[in-house]
Amino acid sequence: SIQQGLAAELNFQAIVDLVGDKLREVFNTPDLGIRWYEKANLVHYLYEYEHGKRLRVEPRPPAPGGMGETMMKTRRPLVLNTAADYKKVSGGALPGTDMSKSLIAVPIISSDRFLGMIVIENYEREHAYGESELRLLTTIAASLGTALENARLFDETQRLLKETEQRAAELAVINRIQEGIAAELDFQAIIDLVGDKLREVFHTGDIGIRWYDAKANLIHYVYQYEHGVRLYQPPMPPNPGGPWFKMVQTRQPVVANSRAEQTALGIKTVEGTDPSISSLGVPILGSDRVLGTIVMEDYERENAYDEAAVRLLSTVAASMGVALENARLFDETQRLLKETEQRAAELAIINSIQQALAAELGFQSIVDLVGDKLREVFATPDLGINWYDEKTSKLRYLYAYEHGKRLEIAPRPPVPGGVFETMVRTRQPQVLNTIAKIGRAIPGTDQSKSMIAVPIITSDRVLGMIGIENYERENAYGESELRLLTTIAASLGTALENARLFDETQRLLKETEQRATELAVINSIQEGMAAELDFQAIIDLVGDKLREVFHTGDLGIRWFDTKANLSHYLYTYEHGVRISVPPATPEPGGVWSKLVETRQPIVANSRAEYAVLGIKTIPGTDTGHSTVMVPILGSDRLLGSIVIEDHQRENAYGEAEVRLVSTVAASMGVALENARLFDETQRLLKETEQRNAELAIINSVQA
- DSSP reduced 3-state for 351: helix
Residue 119 and residue 49 in contact, taking contact as beta carbons nearer than 8 Å: no
Residue 457 pLDDT greater than 80, yes or no: yes
Which long-range contacts link 188-196 to residues 24+ away (Cβ below 8 Å)?
188/222, 189/327, 190/320, 190/323, 190/324, 190/327, 191/222, 191/223, 191/324, 192/223, 194/223, 194/294, 194/316, 194/320, 195/223, 195/225
Give the model's confidence band at 397: pLDDT under 50 very low, under 70 low, under 90 confident, else very high. Answer: very high
Neighbouring C-alpha atoms within 13 Å toward the C-beta of 217: 5
Instruction: Give per-residue pLDDT as tens, 301-313.
Output: 999 998 888 888 8
Select from 383, 515, 508, 402 the least CA-distant residue to 452. 383
**Sheet harboring 102-110: ordered strands across?**
53-54, 43-50, 32-37, 113-122, 102-110, 78-80
Predicted confidence at residue 124, as pLDDT, reads: 92
Burial class (CB in 10 A: 0-12, 13-18, 19+), 635: exposed
Give the model's confidence band at 10: pLDDT under 50 very low, under 70 low, under 90 confident, else very high. Answer: low
Predicted confidence at residue 406, as pLDDT, reads: 92
Residues in contact with 150: Cβ distance below 8 Å, sequence separation at least 6, in sequence order: 10
Residue 68 and residue 43 in contact, taking contact as beta carbons nearer than 8 Å: yes
Predicted confidence at residue 50, as pLDDT, reads: 93
Residue scoring higher pLDDT (52 or 202): 52
Predicted confidence at residue 3, as pLDDT, reads: 64
**What's the average model confidence in pLDDT over 457-472?**
86
Residue 387 and residue 411 in contact, taking contact as beta carbons nearer than 8 Å: no
**Sheet harboring 462-470: ordered strands across?**
405-406, 394-402, 383-389, 462-470, 450-457, 430-432
Task: Tell me the C-alpha distance between 116 and 32, whole Å.
Answer: 14
3-state secondary structure 76-107: CCEEECCHHHHHCCCCCCCCCCCCCCEEEEEE
Predicted confidence at residue 175, as pLDDT, reads: 65
**What's the average model confidence in pLDDT over 509-523?**
63
State the virtual CA torsion across 433, 437, 438, 441 in degrees, nearest 10. Answer: 140
Predicted confidence at residue 371, as pLDDT, reads: 86
SS3 content of the chain, % helix, strand, coil (to 5): 45, 20, 30
Residue 299: CB atoms within 10 A of its CB come to: 16
**What's the average model confidence in pLDDT over 520-525?**
63
Residue 198 and residue 216 in contact, taking contact as beta carbons nearer than 8 Å: no
**What's the average model confidence in pLDDT over 362-378?**
82
Q: How far is CA 311 from CA 170, 174, 244, 315, 633, in A?
A: 9, 11, 19, 6, 100
Report the chain's mean pLDDT, rounded to a whole number.
Answer: 83
**What's the average model confidence in pLDDT over 619-644?**
89
Which long-range contacts link 169-173 to residues 24+ away (Cβ below 8 Å)?
170/308, 170/311, 170/312, 170/315, 173/197, 173/201, 173/312, 173/316
Residue 515 pLDDT greater than 70, yes or no: no
Predicted confidence at residue 228, as pLDDT, reads: 93
Task: Tell me the C-alpha distance between 500 and 363, whole Å.
Answer: 6
Residue 357 pLDDT greater than 60, yes or no: no
Predicted confidence at residue 47, as pLDDT, reads: 93
Instruction: Give per-residue pLDDT as tens, 87-98.
Output: 888 878 888 899
- The DSSP call for residue 404 is T
Instruction: Give per-residue pLDDT as tens, 31-68.
Output: 999 998 876 688 999 999 999 999 999 998 888 888 88
- The DSSP call for residue 28 is T
Q: How many helical (H) and strand (E) elements, i.e. helices and strands, does the chain have? A: 17, 24
Which long-range contacts link 409-414 to residues 24+ away (Cβ below 8 Å)?
409/442, 409/444, 409/445, 412/442, 414/388
Task: Tell me the C-alpha distance between 245 and 174, whole Å.
Answer: 27
Task: Tell me the C-alpha distance between 130 and 77, whole Å.
Answer: 12
Residue 362 pLDDT greater than 80, yes or no: no
Predicted confidence at residue 9, as pLDDT, reads: 62
Q: How far is CA 3 from CA 22, 135, 151, in A?
A: 11, 16, 14
Q: Specify the DSSP element, H or E, that contains 35.
A: strand 32-37
Instruction: Give per-residue pLDDT as tens, 524-578.
Output: 666 665 665 677 888 888 888 888 888 899 999 998 888 899 999 999 999 999 9
Predicted confidence at residue 315, as pLDDT, reads: 80
Predicted confidence at residue 345, as pLDDT, reads: 61
- DSSP reduced 3-state for 632: strand
- The DSSP call for residue 584 is B
Give the model's confidence band at 519: pLDDT under 50 very low, under 70 low, under 90 confident, else very high. Answer: low
Instruction: Give per-residue pLDDT as tens, 246-285.
Output: 888 888 999 999 999 988 888 888 888 899 999 999 998 8
Predicted confidence at residue 525, as pLDDT, reads: 63
Residue scoring higher pLDDT (219 or 349): 219
Task: Tell me the C-alpha distance between 295 and 285, whole Å.
Answer: 14
Give the model's confidence band at 30: pLDDT under 50 very low, under 70 low, under 90 confident, else very high. Answer: very high
Residue 184 pLDDT greater than 60, yes or no: no
Predicted confidence at residue 197, as pLDDT, reads: 83
User: Among 197-206, 346-355, 433-442, 446-455, which stretch is predicted with the lowest mean pLDDT?
Assistant: 346-355
Predicted confidence at residue 660, as pLDDT, reads: 83
Predicted confidence at residue 221, as pLDDT, reads: 93
**Bridge partners for 105 per DSSP:** 78, 119
**Max Cα distance, the chain (Å):** 180
Length of the chain: 703
Residues in contact with 692: Cβ distance below 8 Å, sequence separation at least 6, in sequence order: none
Residues in contact with 341: Cβ distance below 8 Å, sequence separation at least 6, in sequence order: none
Task: Tell me the C-alpha distance between 664 and 542, whole Å.
Answer: 8
Predicted confidence at residue 191, as pLDDT, reads: 84
Burial call 496-522: b when 16+ CB within 10 Å, e when fewer: bbbbeeeeeeeeeeeeeeeeeebeebb
Instruction: Give per-residue pLDDT as tens, 102-129.
Output: 999 999 887 778 888 999 999 999 999 9
**Which of left, alpha, beta for 692 (phi over 0: left; psi -120 to 50: alpha)?**
alpha
Question: pLDDT > 70: what percent of the chain?
Answer: 86
- DSSP reduced 3-state for 703: coil
**CA 18 centroid distance within chain:** 61
Residue 658: CB atoms within 10 A of its CB come to: 18
Residue 149 dihedral angles phi and psi, to the nearest 5°: -65, -45
Confidence (pTM): 0.33
Which long-range contacts link 424-428 to residues 24+ away (Cβ below 8 Å)?
424/455, 424/462, 427/455, 427/457, 427/462, 428/455
**Bridge partners for 43 per DSSP:** 37, 60
Strand segments (E) across 111-160: 113-122
Task: Tell me the C-alpha distance between 192 and 175, whole Å.
Answer: 16
Residue 423 dihedral angles phi and psi, to the nearest 5°: -70, -35
